[in-house]
């Protein structure tokens, strides 16, 4: 069973994604912030991160940079409700397998996860 770490500061989004991914057979580890993810990273067994870009503290892009600089190169799917081309370009520059604009169809998310080796 593949594990997806979901990081989003919106509690209802976090809960909804947990339910959706669980219903599709994934194990979910949910985190309300980049900082809480980093605090528990030793216990995280994620095959992929589903990461909101605009979080209350450290941004999703900053978290991806931090993970990359520390040698942890897990695949990332970015999601955002605040879309602009500069943010999209930055997300791909730091490295992501997909970029989803909220709200997105469940099929788009599941398809993106299924592209991760």
Q: What is the DSSP letter of 51?
A: E
**Sheet with 48-52: strands ordered across:** 27-31, 3-7, 48-52, 76-80, 98-101
- The domain locations on the chain are 3-112
Per-residue tokens: 107? 């099929």
pLDDT in tens, the chain (117 residues): 899 999 999 999 999 999 999 999 999 999 999 999 999 998 888 999 999 999 999 999 999 999 999 988 899 999 999 989 999 999 999 999 999 999 999 999 999 999 998
**Looking at the DSSP assignment, which residues form a beta bridge with residue 80?**
101
- In this prediction, residue 7 carries a pLDDT of 98
The runs of H, that is alpha helices, within 8-70 are: 11-23, 34-39, 60-69
51 forms beta bridges with 7, 78
Assigned architecture for domain 3-112: 3-Layer(aba) Sandwich (3.40)
């Amino acid at each position: 069973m593949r594990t997806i770490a979901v990081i989003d500061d919106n509690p209802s989004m976090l809960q909804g994604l947990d339910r959706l991914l669980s219903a599709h057979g994934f194990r979910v580890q949910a985190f309300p912030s980049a900082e809480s993810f980093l605090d528990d990273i030793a216990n995280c067994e994620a095959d992929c991160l589903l990461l909101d870009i605009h979080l209350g503290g450290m941004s999703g892009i900053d978290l991806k940079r931090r993970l990359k600089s520390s040698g942890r190169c897990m695949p990332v799917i970015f999601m955002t409700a605040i879309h602009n081309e500069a943010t999209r370009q930055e997300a791909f520059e730091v490295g992501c397998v997909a970029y989803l604009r909220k709200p997105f169809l469940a099929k788009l998310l599941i398809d993106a996860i299924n592209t991760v080796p």
